[in-house]
Structure 1
Amino acid sequence: MHKAVIVDDEIFFRQGLKSLIDWKSCGFDVVADASNGEDALAIIHKIKPDLVVTDIRMPVLDGLELIKQLKQKEGHHPKFIIISGHSDFKYAQQAVRYGVHDFILKPIDQEEVEGTLKSLSKSVTEQKIMFEKDKELKKAIILDNLIFGMVDEREVNELSSDLSLEDVSEYYYMVVEVNGLPLLPGDAECQLKEKLTNIIRDIQDTRIGVLIQDLGQGSYGVIIPATYLKRFQMQIAQFAHWTYGLLTKCMNQKITFFIGSAVPKLHLIRNSYETAQEIRQYKYTQEEQNIFLYHEFEKNRLITYTELEDSYYHLLMEHVEENTTISIMETIDKIFLQFSWRRMAKAAVLASITRCVHSILKIIKNMDGDESQLKTFQNMLYLQNYNVTLQQLRKLFLEYVLESKEYIVILRKQSANGEANKIKQFVDLHYRENISLKTIAAKFYMNPVYLGQLFKKAYGIYFKDYLLQVRISEAKKLLRQTEMKIYEIAESVGFNNTDYFVTIFGRLEKITPTEYRHKLHENRKVR
């Protein structure tokens, strides 16, 4: 409901107007009335109504003078509707000059007044929405300027005044992280700002504003004036634990708070912001901690920004290439113990994980693999942009390593099959030549023993046996289709010795080449 004030020197008219018009259905609530312009000025200053319905001729201060004085003052300017029994044109001219919304003559028509009110209510609502948007945008710009050191002291003073923060003794900057992978609109991260705003408003005077800044990537900044701490014996830690408890009850995701140092003035909040950002680097040094206060870490600032030792990378890559799942999991456990034990900064932890990720990608690239085939690749690629707990990070990393390990097994198999297929194709084309496992291995720069194992694994037959099968199969074709002599056929399919050819043919076909040919001739005669 928009607030309305009625000003008229006739009490019966004021009461009649209240009862005749359905104010609520028109979007208004009559919150006060006055019998003259002077009393109305005091009421309007205190209540700040959205609409003033006034007569023109009144004692002490008339309606037009009331409007004139309000228009000339800075600050709140309500809308005006004049309802008067005087139809003098000069009054209407002055009303237009002062920007009066409407000029209605007595006796009033209910439908006319309600139609005017409904139209005005819609307009006021739209203006309020635009005003709030502009106000929020301006506030966001000022907050950005504050934390990046581009402060206009006048704007900061205005902001302090608007939010009733003029007499605050100190301020804190708190970074709130929503942990986990990015969420869809409407999920917990998107609701956090609203929930946090409601929680803070429940503990303070409604006149005191709430300053929450969207830092992007699932993080929010909250400026905490000392006035928030009155219920908590002025202890920031108590406020943080209370707020955290309420927030986590209505959020499905894990939340982490980082609270910077106290500063005495709002324009110095950048210092608190920077210390809050500094304390974010301690996130992985205390796995079970959800609230980090700068003053608790200020004296004990032992933290390392150096990455893991090379031995851990090499060990993990070895287990990935060996396809040993248990060893991979054990090594990752050791790596994450190192993160905590060495008190590694968040930046160092992520750098170490990124190095492992790229080491695995290098293996995949060298095997002509495509990293986009990995479902977990995108998560690891943008890991620096996510807020995740140490436990969440371990889960994401383990999933990536195990998926990569399985993909490498597939690539190795595909590579082996590809190499074996190249050998098979070479045999199919060159079986007539004097070839052997040794000569082919040399041609393809492969170890003969490895080549033999590779071929057997791919086709279930030894290389030598396959070569003999190809030669004998071709020999059978020549026996069926030509009248070539046996020794000529032997030579044409790659046998240097006819007796050896006959022996192999007999072993594979359970019949000699000559008998095979005679059998073919007999079958033709029978037909």
Structure 2
Amino acid sequence: MIRVLIVDDEPFIRQGLKILINWEQYGYEIVGEAANGIEAIKELETKDVDLLIVDIKMPEMNGIELIEYVRENILTEVKIIVLSGYYEFEYAKKAIKCNVTDYILKPIQRDELVKVLNSFKEEYMKQKKQNTVQKIKDKVVYDRFLNEIIYGKCNDSNLKYIKKRQIFSSELRYMIIEINYCNNDEINISENEKMEQQQIFYQNMISWLGENYYNVIIDMGQSKECYDIGFIYDKRLAKEKGMNESEYILNFKSGMQQIQKHDFFIYIGEKVNSIEEISLSYKSATVAKLFSDFSIESNITYYDEMAKRKELSCNAGKQYMDYLIHEIEDNNKEEIVKCVDRIYTSFREYKINLDIIKININYLLCNLINIAKELDSEINQEEVMQYISSVSFEQMISRGSANHLKTFSLEFAEYLSQLRQNSFQGILNQIDKEISEHYMEKLSLKYLSEKYYINSAYLGQIFKKQYSTSFKDYLNAYRIEKAAELLKRSDDKIYKIAEKVGYNNTDYFINKFVQLKEKTPLQYRKQFCCR
């Protein structure tokens, strides 16, 4: 509803306006009335008003004076419609110079009022939509700069941008909000559904925070499988509600539980003194998330509680990783599972530095690359890196990361075993046959690797070694050759030919054709028709 304040010194005109039309029917709500400009200012100080309907001639403070005051002192964008008699037109012209939206002549006619209100509503809704779009754009840019600071890339440029739009106090904490999808029998929930629920939770937090919505942020980190939401707790937020930190966080949790479908966990980083230090709080919140006690009743974990534990040395962490590397190399599945469990159990007993965790994970990955390299000297190291990025540090720091590391370790153990044992020529012959017989279907390395029981990363490597190109590029080239044959031998439409050779998207097919043949399909066909 558009909120309206009526200002006129004549009571019967104010009353007449209120009953002249059904305001709600036209999308309006009369939130107050005033007999002059001074009373109107008092109303504006206590109520949210979108539209002022103002009489020109009034005692104490007339309409022109009120309009000038509003334009100079009221920061919110209040629109104004002027009421004036036939003999007050000079006043109306002055009002127009003060950027009023419209004016209505007295005596007020119902049809004219409706016409003006409908016109105003149309512009109001259009402006509101534009403002919403602009707010979203501004928030996206703000979040990008804030994410850089959170990830430790604090510089004068992003700091200046953030401080211009938000004032932070000297007591901040970074909080990670993790949605728990396992509460509602939704263990197999898809990635798209998780993304949707993240957006819903994000919007619910924005609604709950009101004017402080800039403190909530979507994590734009490197991990594609992370659907956490960030929240910068600021002492000012608690102070505004007359609460201390603990009370505010519990109040936040309670408020979100009332409007949120899924249960959630809260991981709270260490306290820092400025936004420049928020990356320290983010790192510690990440540690709280990674090694929290999942049985906690309140679903709230403070890093402060973990900071009391004794520290794990780099050497101790290295010993755990050395043992895991040995078991992966031997493809000892039972010991791999036990080893990962021991790693996580011991990590939870100690105060963990995030940088030490990262060093240990990178140590593990580098050693596995070297082992693969020793087994096959011609192996493409970059492709192995892409494969093992599935256990990158950023993806590892999520609930269930022990299972994630187990899965990766078992798969890589099998991968190393295949490097030792597989003779790839026979498999490539089968793959070649698959392409020639089924090129028009959905073929992928993943599908073929599952069909022929071979690791997809290894299959991609041996394919490239044999054909000097990637599987995807080889398949595209094969399909384009088949399309070229059809263009010469048939008069089928371009989109039909695209479908026959395996492309559902005609534009993509045309782009690939031009890329490989340096002509559009139509140009290619015409060159043969003219011969």
SS in 2 for 1:359: helix
**Residue in 2 aligned with 1:211?**
215
- Looking at structure 1, the residues matched to 162 and 379 of structure 2 have their Cα atoms a distance apart, in angstroms, of 56
TM-score calculated relative to the size of structure 1: 0.61
Unaligned runs of 5+ in 1: 419-527
In the other structure, the counterpart of 2:364 is 356
Shift of 1:128: 4.2
- Alignment partner for residue 407 of structure 1, among 406, 415, 418? 415
Instruction: Indicate if the aligned counterparts of 2:33 and 2:40 stay in contact, CA closer than 8 A.
Output: yes
Look up the match of 2:280.
Answer: 274
CA pair 238-329 structure 1, distance change in 2 beyond 3 A? same
Q: Identify the residue that residue 194 of structure 1 maps to in structure 2.
A: 203
Q: Does 1:40 align with 2:40?
A: yes
Q: What residue number does 2:103 align with?
A: 103
Q: Which residue is 1:322 aligned to?
A: 330
Q: Deviations over 1:421-442 (max 9, x none)?
A: xxxxxxxxxxxxxxxxxxxxxx
Secondary structure at the counterpart of residue 75 of structure 2: coil
Report Cα offsets for 1:497-523 as digits up to 9, x if no partner. Answer: xxxxxxxxxxxxxxxxxxxxxxxxxxx
- What fraction of aligned residue pairs are identical, expressed as a percent? 20
**Is 1:258 equivalent to 2:262 in the alignment?**
no
Q: CA deviation at 1:120?
A: 1.5
Match of 1:471 in 2: none
1:337 aligns with 2:345: yes
Deviation at 1:4, TM superposition (A): 0.7
Q: 1:72 to 1:226 in 2, by over 3 A?
A: closer
Cα distance change on mapping 1:98 and 1:175 into 2, 3 Å: same
Instruction: Find the aligned partners of 1:215 and 1:172 in 2 and give their Cα distance.
Output: 18
Question: Amino acid of the residue matched to residue 175 of structure 1?
Answer: M
Larger radius of gyration: 1
Q: Partner of 1:124 in structure 2?
A: 124
Mark the CA change 1:334 to 1:382 in structure 2 (over 3 Å): closer, same or farther: closer
> Residue 4 of structure 1 aligns with which residue?
4
* Structure 1 residues 399-426: Cα deviation after superposition (integer angstroms, max 9, x where no partner): 11222233334443323988xxxxxxxx
> Which whole-Å deviations, capped at 9, do the CAs of 1:209-254 have from their partners, x for residues lacking one?
77324453334132333663798973x3454456456657846576
Per-residue deviation, 1:82: 1.8
Q: Of 225, 228, 236, which aligns to 2:238? A: 228
Contact 1:173 1:222 in 2 (8 A): yes
SS of equivalent to 2:57 = coil
What is residue 26 of structure 1 aligned with on the other side?
26
- Residue identity opposite 1:221 in structure 2: F
Q: Offset of 1:94 from its aligned partner?
A: 1.5
Instruction: Specify whether residues 127 and 416 from structure 1 end up closer, same or farther in structure 2 by C-alpha distance, changes over 3 A only.
Output: closer
Q: Give the aligned residue type for 1:412.
A: R
Compare 37-46 and 283-292 and name the one that shifted more.
Answer: 283-292
Aligned-pair distance for 1:53? Answer: 1.1
Q: Does 1:84 align with 2:84?
A: yes
Structure 1 residue 177: Cα displacement: 4.4
SS for the counterpart of 2:314 is coil
Cα gap change, 1:262 to 1:254, in 2 (>3 Å)? same
3-state DSSP of counterpart to 2:422 = helix
1:388 equivalent to 2:392? Answer no
Larger CA deviation: 327-336 vs 289-298: 289-298
Structure-2 change in CA distance of 1:146 and 1:45 (3 Å)? farther
The answer as to whether partners of 1:172 and 1:259 remain within 8 angstroms in 2 is no
Deviations 1:154-190 (A, max 9, x none): 9979966xxxx9xx9x743232143799953743333
Shift in alpha-carbon separation, 1:414–1:72, aligned structure 2, 3 A:
closer
Q: How many residues align?
A: 399
Residue 58 of structure 1: how far off its partner (Å): 2.8
Specify the alignment match of 1:306 in structure 2.
Answer: 314
From the superposition, tell whether residues 244 and 320 of structure 1 become closer, same or farther in structure 2 (CA, over 3 Å). Answer: same
Change beyond 3 A, Cα 1:139–1:73: farther
Quickly say closer, same or farther: Cα 1:28–1:258, change in 2 above 3 A.
Answer: same
C-alpha distance in 2 between matches for 1:50 and 1:225:
32
In structure 2, relative to structure 1, the CA distance for the partners of 1:125 and 1:387 (3 Å cut) is farther
How far 1:99 sits from its partner (Å)?
A: 1.2
Alpha-carbon shift at residue 78 of structure 1 (Å): 1.8
1:23 Cα offset (Å): 1.9
- Aligned: 1:397 with 2:401: no
Task: Identify if the C-alpha distance between structure 1 residues 36 and 382 changes in structure 2 by more than 3 Å, giving closer, same or farther.
Answer: same
Q: 1:275 & 1:231 partners in 2: Cα distance?
A: 23
